[in-house]
Structure 1
Amino acid sequence: MNPIDFLIEPLGYTFMVRALLITVVASVVCAVLSCWLVLIGWSLMGDAVSHAVLPGVVLAYLVGAPFALGAVIFGVLAVALIGVVRDTSRVKEDAAIGIVFTTLFALGLVLISVTPSQTDLTHIIFGNLLGASAADLVQVVVLGAIVLAVLVVKRRDFTLAAFDPTHAHAIGLSPRVINAVLLGLLAMTAVVALQAVGVILVTAMLIIPGATAYLLTDRFGRMLWIAPLIGGVAAIIGVYLSYGFDTASGGMVVLVQGAAFFLVYLFGPRRGVLGARIRSRRRAEAAGRA
């Protein structure tokens, strides 16, 4: 099969077109949000919320409510519980996060195991990209558009509240409210990515693109372009590779993102480990010749 046929053939299948669209949308949304999560040190919080939404998604399925509603409720619940445990005990924040999110995740697993369903709810955990329906695509696009719109419109408020909450409060912004909105968007983003990669791998999509972009630039504005570009390209490559090698689509997408990170980590033009050593050696040799 020549490269052109390899690129065109998957597009002849409706399920592959849906898979590509869902993955690109989910990857771009996660990548934009990951810029804030990485820079303000919320990576572990992203891990907690993305796992803690599982019981909310299952309960929403049981009552016929939108998955996003259940996810947001349990995302907020998780953050509140983390704060209570941290503030009323000797347990530190990282331990509180671990306790809360693993407990809620376990609750989600138990609910899945006892929930009668005509569909396989384990797809929530591992993703079901190739089995996505037209309704799934619509849900992902709508939720993704809402999250992106809020992030873009309020990007300056989010950034100011994250890096200088005192100044934000002085000009009339409430850092507490802004952080709560950001956490709500995090929960909605987790729902967007569930269909693509499942709960387990959502964390990777919420961290890797932002971390990769952070190694490439010092300017936050550029990060907001670089991260979604990396996420979108990795999504397309991952889906095509999964088609060609008959592997799990969600896992392959995250694997490509991870490969991109390590390539930048090693060979990045400014902060690549190997590149820095080569530049250091050249400077030493130049100094020796001088």
Structure 2
Amino acid sequence: MTALTWHTEPLMYDFMVRALVTTCIAAAACALLSCWLVLIGWSLMGDAVSHAVLPGVVIAYIVGAPFAVGAIIAGFFAVGLIGCVQGTNRVKEDAAIGIVFTTLFSIGLVLISITPSQTNLTHIVFGNVLGVSSLDLLQVVVLAAVVIGVLLLRRRDLVLYAFDPGHAHAIGLSPRRLGALLLALLALTSVVALQVVGVVLIVAMLIIPGATARLLTDSFGRILVIAPLLAIACSALGLYISFWADASPGGLVVLCQAGAFVLALLAGLRRRRSRRV
């Protein structure tokens, strides 16, 4: 098998083309948002919201509504529930997040187990990017465009909120509203990535690209460029490997991103050692 065949043969299949386009778009949206999640320290919040959308998706299937609608509602519900639990002043944020996301995720698993279905609902948990339809692709494109557009339009305000919420408040911005905006975008992005890697691995796509880019540069502007490009490259590589190895595409996409993180980490350690010498 030649290198040309390795690159071109997967593109002869429509399902692979749709999978590549869907995965790259989803990866770009997740990577861009991950820059803020990593900077603010919301990794656990990303985990919570990504797992909490599961019952919403299953309920949407039961009532015959689009999966995206159920996932978005469940995501917003999870965010509000975390705020209510934390607002008691007796439960810390990390505990509130852990309680809410494990409870909602468990509800989703129970609903899957008791819901009679001709559709394999476990695809919600593990993803089914190779089964993406044209309608699914359109949904991902629209939601990703909303997420990326809002992040770029409000980039300066969100960067200021991440670095210095007090200063943001002093110049007339509302840290509470900016935080709520990020949480809303997190819920939308979870829906975008749901089709690609499933509920279980969404958090990886929401954290690894931003963390990797942070290891490569201290400039937040460059992080916003490196993270999406790196995520897209890893997504394409993961899908190609899955095609030829006949393995899980979602799992390989995340493994490629994890491999990039390890390489960036090792490169950073090497630079530190060389400076000491």
Distance of 1:274 and 1:220 partners within structure 2:
22
Q: Distance in 1 between matches of 2:63 and 2:170?
A: 43
Deviation of 1:197 (Å): 0.4
Alignment pair present for 1:48 and 2:44: no
Distance, in Å, in 1 between the alignment partners of 2:88 and 2:37 is 25
Q: Distance in 2 between matches of 1:38 and 1:116?
A: 39
Q: Secondary structure of 1:16's match?
A: helix
Distance 1:107 1:193, change over 3 A: same
Whether contact under 8 Å (1:68, 1:187) holds in the other structure is no
Shift of 1:69: 2.7
Whether 2:275 is the aligned partner of 1:279: answer: yes
Residue in 2 aligned with 1:140? 140
- Residues matched between the structures, number: 277
Letter in 1 for 2:46: G
The CA deviation at 1:89 is 5.2
C-alpha contact (below 8 Å) 2:72/2:191 kept by paired residues: no
Q: Superposition pairs for residues 77-156 of structure 1, below 5 Å? A: 77-88=77-88, 90-156=90-156
Structure 2 CA distance for aligned equivalents of residues 278 and 100 of structure 1: 45
- Residues 40 and 202 of structure 1: is their aligned pair in 2 closer, same or farther, counting only changes over 3 Å? same
Bigger drift between 113-122 and 131-140 goes to 113-122
Q: Considering only aligned residues, what root-mean-square deviation do their CA atoms show, in Å?
A: 1.4
2:209 is aligned with 1:213: no
CA drift at 1:4: 0.3
Bigger Cα displacement from structure 2, 39-48 vs 110-119 = 110-119
- Percent of residue pairs bearing the same amino acid type: 65
Helix, strand or coil: the match of 1:88?
A: coil
Residue 200 of structure 2: aligned partner: 200
Letter in 1 for 2:188: M
Alignment correspondent of 1:288: none
Contact preservation (8 Å) 2:127, 2:194: yes
User: CA–CA distance in 2 between the matches of 1:82 and 1:27?
Assistant: 26
Cα distance between partner residues in 2 of 1:119 and 1:24? 25
Residue 189 of structure 2 corresponds to: 189
Measured in 1, the distance between the counterparts of 2:168 and 2:274 equals: 43
Q: Which has the larger radius of gyration?
A: 1
Say which SS state the counterpart of residue 87 (structure 2) adopts. Answer: helix
Deviations 1:74-95 (A, max 9, x none): 2222222222222315332212
Deviation at 1:62, TM superposition (A): 2.4
Is the contact between residue 35 and residue 224 of structure 2 (CA under 8 Å) also seen in structure 1?
Answer: yes
Q: Deviations over 1:56-110 (max 9, x none)?
A: 1222222333333322322222222222222315332212111110000001111
**Do structure 1's residue 165 and structure 2's residue 165 form an aligned pair?**
yes
Determine the structure 2 residue equivalent to 1:287.
none
Greater alpha carbon shift after TM alignment, 30-39 vs 129-138: 129-138
- Counterpart-to-counterpart distance in 2, 1:74 and 1:165: 27
Report if the CA contact (8 A) 2:43-2:207 is conserved.
yes
Report the TM-score when normalising by structure 2: 0.96
Q: Compare 144-153 and 73-82 and name the one that shifted more.
A: 73-82
Shift of 1:114: 1.9
Return the letter of the residue paired with 1:125.
Answer: V
CA distance in 2, matches of 1:22, 1:181: 24
Q: Distance in 1 between matches of 2:228 and 2:236?
A: 12
Amino acid at match of 2:269: V
Counterpart of 1:277, as a letter, is: R
| Letter in structure 2 aligned against 1:54 | L
Could you tell me how far apart the structure 1 residues matched to 2:66 and 2:184 are? Answer: 15
1:118 shift after superposition:
2.4
Residue 68 of structure 2 corresponds to 68
Q: Distance in 2 between matches of 1:57 and 1:184?
A: 17
SS of the residue aligned with 1:254? helix
Aligned to 2:179: 179
Q: Match for residue 255 of structure 2?
A: 255
Q: Shift of residue 21 of structure 1?
A: 0.6
The amino acid of 1:179's aligned partner reads G
Cα distance in 2, alignment partners of residues 182 and 66 from structure 1: 23
**TM-score w.r.t. length of structure 1:** 0.92
